[in-house]
Amino acid sequence: MADTMRDNTQTPLLYIARLALGNEQFDAWNHQPLLTSLEQGGLEWPSSCRNGTCRTCIGQLVSGEVRYQIEWPGLSTDEKLAGCILPCVAFPCSDVVLHPYSD
């Protein structure tokens, strides 16, 4: 799916995001990181730095697509291949399903 981020003069897009464990759902706006949307939806997810370096928020993208506004954040090649993301700096490009990551 193509990146659906629009320029700042247009209305942000809203996606549906879901946590695989517990099947909890929240609104995910394309103009803000998934972690922010999670918190606005009243859901808890581990976090700390909010800039993609501490890895506290690491999760696995079960389905959907995300994009980053920074160079690929602090994930190993194996983690990238496993579908890991850092929700503190990942912006949704579609509906998404997240799962806590365990290596």
Query: What's the mean pLDDT in 3-30?
Result: 81
Residue pointed to by tokens 């806590």: 100
Predicted TM-score (pTM) of the model is 0.85
Question: For residue 32, is pLDDT > 80?
Answer: yes
| 63 DSSP β-pair partners | 97
Helices (H) and strands (E) in the chain, counts: 2, 7
Confidence bin at 4 (pLDDT 50/70/90): very low
Are 68 and 91 spatial neighbours (Cβ–Cβ below 8 Å)? yes
Confidence bin at 24 (pLDDT 50/70/90): very high
pLDDT tens track for 37-86:
999 999 999 999 988 889 999 999 999 999 998 876 688 889 989 999 99
- Give the model's pLDDT for residue 5: 42
Query: What's the mean pLDDT in 13-21?
Result: 96
